[in-house]
Amino acid sequence: MPLSPHYAPFPVHTDLGPALYDEVRAASFPGHILRWRHAPAAASVGLGELDDADWVRHFARFEPLPGNLVVPLALRYHGHQFRQYNPDLGDGRGFLFAQLREQKTGRLLDLGTKGSGTTPWSRGGDGRLTLQGGVREVLAAELLQARGVPTCRIFSLVETGEPLHRHDERSPTRSAVMVRLSHSHIRFGTFQRLAWHRDKDSMERLLDHVITHHYPHLANVPDRPAALLRAVSHRKADTAAAWMAAGYVHGVLNTDNMNITGESFDYGPWRAAVDLDPAFTAAYFDHAGLYAYGRQPGAVLWNLQRLALALTLIGNPHTLGPALEDHGLVYERQLARRWLWRLGLEAGEPAQDTALVGTLLESMREARLPIDRFVHDWAGGAAAAERALSGPHAPLYRRRWFAPIRALLDSRLPVSTPPGPPPTMADGAPVGLPIERVRAIWGRIDAEDDWGDLHVAVERLRASAAWTRQLSGPPPLLA
């Protein structure tokens, strides 16, 4: 296979010892039709030169990559699922396949699978993934990346030729195996499992491992458990703020779906919110709305508190609690910065930004303004007025109740002159993925094996991302 000089294998998870994983084998599939490969992501880890045959060998048959993990690892973890503790979790239909260094940053990256077969943690499941589920993961990751959200990237999707039966899909349905590229698959639940077993030695090794490979600036601090908790808290505050500014609802914010590097992953019943309705819920089985749009920040904090409890096995409870005290402040500041970034408006003093954005969001919420349309029309603030007032929602924006929102938009200068009109979807709608569009994309694939709409949607999302970066620069990082 052709190897780029930028391919830098770095398999280090086995350093943690067998208490944290099980060696497994991938399933053997009857078919291998390559449906998706993330070319920029592949180039970033030196795998962009693989031809399709080599790609399928490694990301559907799972032959080891050179110098990498020899055997896939199903990771062990516990977790709170809808706030009920479950000690029987673990990678039930996926595994860690490889670890690499990213070309530009040198950061450690994982290649992890979904739908790759049964493991000791399958709990009676078939270890498979539906093709529809894989398509939804591709779309979710592309939407979030376009909106500046810290996210995994869907590296590969291969259709595998098995008919699957699922109660929530028309059965039989098509099957697939997926590979995601993420900065880590170490979860909050990884720490929870070691705390459950009172395994202090493994917890110390895990703490050392996470700090060495993901938070090296904490190597010499005096209270490392509390310092790590605070650093993870800040990253998760930023991710929660980014979800909210993107109008995104994850759907299943269990502790096993929280990783220690902050970016989001595992996109099951996600939805894009139409407006800022705090009660909007993504998962059909979330009957109480525990993970509704407006409750996501609270869910993240609750999960961080569970991580803090797990860390008391090796840390000081009197310092772990205070490590979360500034979580809310970081969240509020990042929420303001990320909304200003989406709207292309200059940031200022944090307290003033928080107040301005808070007032703006309350007005948008009361008016039930569609998120994607509002951002499409008003990105650039006053500089976008001509576009907004000549568009389909112009009569709405001329009403008296909109005047305070207009005043808020006019109160901040644009970061730069808008680079022409923002991109739209193929039908002229603002760039976005409401559930109707997601269903239509899958419908064309399912009925006609027509993947054109998916590729067009991804193209428009990436064009929208480029436009936003021209207007606002890169997404706002933590201060």
Catalytic annotation, pick one of 256, 266, 353, 372: 256
Confidence band, pLDDT 50/70/90 cuts, at residue 167? confident
Kindly give the interhelix angle for 435-448 and 452-472, rounded to the nearest 10 degrees: 150
> Does residue 428 lie in a domain region?
no
pLDDT of residue 479: 61
pLDDT at 169 over 80: no
Question: What mean pLDDT comes out for the span 94-109?
Answer: 96
pLDDT at 156 over 90: yes
> Does residue 368 lie in a domain region?
no
Question: What mean pLDDT comes out for the span 294-318?
Answer: 98
Domain count, the chain: 1
Q: How open is the CA angle 375-376-379, to the nearest 5 degrees? A: 60
> Does residue 162 lie in a domain region?
yes
Query: What residue numbers bound the domain in which 162 lies?
Result: 13-188
Cβ-proximal residues to 109 (8 Å cutoff; 6+ apart), any chain:
45, 99, 100, 101, 102, 181, 182, 183
Q: Give 407: exposed, middle or buried? Use CB within 10 Å, 0-12, 13-18, 19+.
A: exposed
Question: What mean pLDDT comes out for the span 250-255?
Answer: 97
Confidence band, pLDDT 50/70/90 cuts, at residue 173? very high
Question: What mean pLDDT comes out for the span 383-397?
Answer: 94
pLDDT at 283 over 90: yes
- 224-to-302, 313, 409, 469 alpha-carbon distances in Å: 21, 13, 43, 36
Question: What mean pLDDT comes out for the span 62-80?
Answer: 97
Question: What mean pLDDT comes out for the span 381-394?
Answer: 94
pLDDT of residue 166: 86
Is there a contact between 177 and 260 (Cβ–Cβ < 8 Å)?
no
Query: Can you read off the two tokens belonging to residue 377?
Result: 């029309």
- Output 171 or 244, whichever has higher pLDDT: 244
pLDDT at 2 over 80: no
Is there a contact between 164 and 174 (Cβ–Cβ < 8 Å)?
yes
pLDDT of residue 21: 97
> Does residue 69 lie in a domain region?
yes
pLDDT at 376 over 70: yes
pLDDT at 183 over 80: yes
> Does residue 216 lie in a domain region?
no
Question: What mean pLDDT comes out for the span 50-65?
Answer: 97
pTM of the full structure: 0.96
- Output 166 or 97, whichever has higher pLDDT: 97
Q: Tell me the average pLDDT of the chain.
A: 96
Question: What mean pLDDT comes out for the span 90-107?
Answer: 96
> Does residue 141 lie in a domain region?
yes
pLDDT at 294 over 70: yes
446: helix, coil or strand? Answer: helix
pLDDT at 1 over 70: no
pLDDT at 77 over 90: yes
Is there a contact between 112 and 62 (Cβ–Cβ < 8 Å)?
no
> Does residue 301 lie in a domain region?
no
pLDDT at 219 over 80: yes
Query: Cα–Cα distance between 427 and 370 in angstroms, integer?
Result: 17
Question: What mean pLDDT comes out for the span 157-164?
Answer: 96
Is there a contact between 46 and 3 (Cβ–Cβ < 8 Å)?
yes
Query: Cα–Cα distance between 62 and 25 in angstroms, integer?
Result: 9
pLDDT at 206 over 90: yes
pLDDT of residue 478: 81
201 is catalytic: no
> Does residue 298 lie in a domain region?
no
Query: Cα–Cα distance between 60 and 36 in angstroms, integer?
Result: 12
Query: Can you read off the two tokens belonging to residue 250?
Result: 């994850």
pLDDT of residue 446: 96
pLDDT of residue 170: 78
